Structure 1
């Protein structure tokens, strides 16, 4: 076995009978893998150092000396995201656990026993953290051991605290393919009182990923994960029994065993078979590829190289998620894939599909301009989106004049809404207080329904939201904008969601106005019924204001938001009239009001 499994034990005698390996092999066998031979593991024992008074040594210097590991950090984040997708575990504790008494292990529960482990013995953990000579002795002992070039590092309880300390002291030739901490008390504030924080700089170029697994009912962990103190850690909560803390119980869990198996017994990537039949991209799939192309165009147009690298790293996370969904679509859903999707899975960004007529392309471009391709991450990319829209327009087969007029339409609409003027490209466009228009979230390739009884996810093609908000409600309209007549595919605008979601109504309508205005600038047919939808939404928002004014405090957040939305809607209606987007009867009338009985008809005074 090329990769060695290294185990750092907790307090006690150092687990000479390798109970940890027995538990791990139990989990591996249950998952259909071969057990790991003890000869392929290494479990150094440092219990005598911890239990003997007077042993000490000078702290060794860190061996991790990489000056710039930003690229490694981005790749670390991608691997962490993949683990989260594959493992399917939550990071949220549930049920009764020590999280209700986070200081209990080190303070008030000193006489409480957990199997053969007394909580009183956890003073050894604090002693290790706060006694620098002891830490130095343990670290020097570990540094003197013989390690394979590639290891899976598993650390339990006190061993996890030592392992965290050891990561930047490992011999330089050692690369940690996977770091797993189990039952760790390292996040307990009581451990760190009067001492410097462990691991000031995480060695991203040395450690591929870090999964911290905790039992919320394990009193040693305090019922909490490590990410609050160690941002590189990714927490996963598992239920292995009331007050269970044993390493064998942790490693016998199928989720934890699978973490080890992925590295020790890597499965060969199964190439998705090509059907030999020409498969056409669906409209939503084409839109997803267009969004990815736009994201890469944004990255190419970011002048600051550090920001560009950060943006590209976040974009690759998003692209990995889309590829994972494509693979699930092909394997679980048993659906043939278009050649462009095969190219994406193979690591190549396919060219922009030439599927859109000009009036459809306008809708796609406007939505792209309002889309944060790296949602939920927010990165100020300055003018890069403007240049990217021009680049995407050309790639779609249209002249750059089309992109220029789309950008002009967005800028003019934004100026009509924002008293300050100008469009903060690369940041957040606001139409009203608290109503963000950018960061709409990219469009997903597929939507996964809850798992069926057989355990397979039900996969359906369509639009899905990635991240908070996403293309939800008023923004779930990309497909509709691309269709004839620009019918908005949201219940919020067509009458269902206005009472509950005025901000979503506004977002959708800002996009609608931008699209129709861009079409007019390009001498394309545009939808004159847009004005009626604006008027209807304004009327319903005004009704909400009247209802809330009777009971709410004058400056309540809800009333403030509703008034801002109404003001923005009024500005949009004025803009529509001034730009010739309204029906002639509306444009000709000096005064107008919405007929309450028939909201689609206008009475001219």
Structure 2
């Protein structure tokens, strides 16, 4: 039977004071899994599907390791260039903040009027070059100033606290830029895929949330032997951001135009990829995404949701019948 692979996002680590022995970790992961499946069960009911097959679910838990790696990284000096990869994590983070704000109407030259004339002129020149289709970037100092203004704008526009926005986008930038963290996370996902295969589930449906959508896209570029993907589902995803797409693994690295993962073999008549977004979700602020990946609308189905509890909540995303329905259909195809 087809298995479900649930790939979580950031800030899922356990509190250290509660203990992290294997039994505690297993109980914690079981609780997280129930949250996802609870949302999916509601979506199945609303879409007219049967029960959720909880016994074929795999939850690669990397939350503790990623959080510990980030703490160690910052304790060693905080965000700084990764000399091996040539990527400045802090600059990548600021670029993500600016791009997200621009998507919601931010124009730096209109929101930095308290700065000196030379700064405003430099901002306007970069904006002019970008409008004409030319490559133009900000100096480090200018990018820092613009990012601060963009973060405040984005917070005011979406009603999300600035520190929340910073944390979400910082962790995505950290994953993309730090090779060690990326390999660590990918190791967890690959082992879960291999376990599913060894348990007799050669076909999987990948359901990913938030940072997990970036993690999952990377993982689909290098599947273990004997594993195929029937459906890819993303929720609350930052994959709409150009800077994220440029740093994904797989074909056309460095390009803003990336392919739908070729490792997906969809059910006939069903989408290859379902992408869910709530317009209030600051992580998925750039939406829809079908036109941003080669394969286009025929391969990716964007689904706009309204999450009643919290715009970024995974259980709310999965309770939408238009998101849960394709998952149920993909599961039913091999019965």
- Superposition TM-score, scaled by structure 1 size: 0.34
Q: 1:245 aligns with which of 299, 304, 312?
A: 312
Match of 1:120 in 2: 166
Equivalent pair of 2:214/2:248 in contact (CA under 8 Å) = no
For the residue of structure 2 that corresponds to 1:151, the secondary structure is strand
Equivalent pair of 2:276/2:305 in contact (CA under 8 Å) = no
Kindly name which structure, 1 or 2, has the bigger radius of gyration based on alpha carbons.
Answer: 1
Cα shift readout 1:248-297 (whole Å, capped 9, x = no counterpart) = 111100111111111112399xxxxxxxxxxxxxxxxxxxxxxxxxxxxx
Cα shift readout 1:19-66 (whole Å, capped 9, x = no counterpart) = 11110001112233222142221111111122112589x99xxxxxxx
For the residue of structure 2 that corresponds to 1:24, the secondary structure is helix
Q: 1:100 aligns with which of 98, 104, 113?
A: 104
Equivalent pair of 2:218/2:248 in contact (CA under 8 Å) = no
For the residue of structure 2 that corresponds to 1:118, the secondary structure is helix
Q: Distance in 2 between matches of 1:32 and 1:252?
A: 12
Is 1:204 paired with 2:250? no
Residues 135 and 5 of structure 1: is their aligned pair in 2 closer, same or farther, counting only changes over 3 Å?
same
Match of 2:9 in 1: 10
Q: Distance in 2 between matches of 1:244 and 1:20?
A: 15
How far off its partner does 1:217 sit? 2.5
Residues 223 and 40 of structure 1: is their aligned pair in 2 closer, same or farther, counting only changes over 3 Å?
same
For the residue of structure 2 that corresponds to 1:212, the secondary structure is strand
Alignment of 1:147-546 (within 5 A): 147=196, 148-191=201-244, 196-200=247-251, 202=259, 203-208=261-266, 209-232=272-295, 234-241=300-307, 244-266=311-333
For the residue of structure 1 that corresponds to 2:41, the secondary structure is helix
**CA RMSD between the two structures:** 3.5
How far off its partner does 1:239 sit? 3.0
Equivalent pair of 1:179/1:210 in contact (CA under 8 Å) = yes
For the residue of structure 2 that corresponds to 1:169, the secondary structure is coil
Q: Distance in 2 between matches of 1:33 and 1:165?
A: 30
Match of 2:49 in 1: 33
Q: Quick check: which one's helix share is greater?
A: 2
How far off its partner does 1:101 sit? 4.8
Cα shift readout 1:374-431 (whole Å, capped 9, x = no counterpart) = xxxxxxxxxxxxxxxxxxxxxxxxxxxxxxxxxxxxxxxxxxxxxxxxxxxxxxxxxx
Match of 1:21 in 2: 37
How far off its partner does 1:118 sit? 2.3
Equivalent pair of 1:176/1:207 in contact (CA under 8 Å) = yes
For the residue of structure 2 that corresponds to 1:178, the secondary structure is strand
Residues 22 and 107 of structure 1: is their aligned pair in 2 closer, same or farther, counting only changes over 3 Å?
same
Equivalent pair of 1:9/1:158 in contact (CA under 8 Å) = yes
Q: Distance in 2 between matches of 1:252 and 1:34?
A: 14
Cα shift readout 1:553-605 (whole Å, capped 9, x = no counterpart) = xxxxxxxxxxxxxxxxxxxxxxxxxxxxxxxxxxxxxxxxxxxxxxxxxxxxx
Q: Distance in 2 between matches of 1:20 and 1:139?
A: 21
Cα shift readout 1:470-494 (whole Å, capped 9, x = no counterpart) = xxxxxxxxxxxxxxxxxxxxxxxxx
Q: 2:185 aligns with which of 138, 142, 164?
A: 138
Residues 205 and 139 of structure 1: is their aligned pair in 2 closer, same or farther, counting only changes over 3 Å?
closer
Cα shift readout 1:142-177 (whole Å, capped 9, x = no counterpart) = 222312200111111110010011101221211101
Can you give the 5+ residue segments of structure 2 that lack an aligned partner in the other structure?
A: 14-27, 74-81, 86-100, 107-146, 253-258, 267-271
Equivalent pair of 1:216/1:237 in contact (CA under 8 Å) = no
What is the total number of aligned residue pairs between the two structures?
A: 225
Match of 1:43 in 2: 59
Equivalent pair of 1:215/1:244 in contact (CA under 8 Å) = yes
For the residue of structure 2 that corresponds to 1:168, the secondary structure is coil
Runs of 4+ deviating beyond 6 Å: 110-113
Alignment of 1:521-600 (within 5 A): none
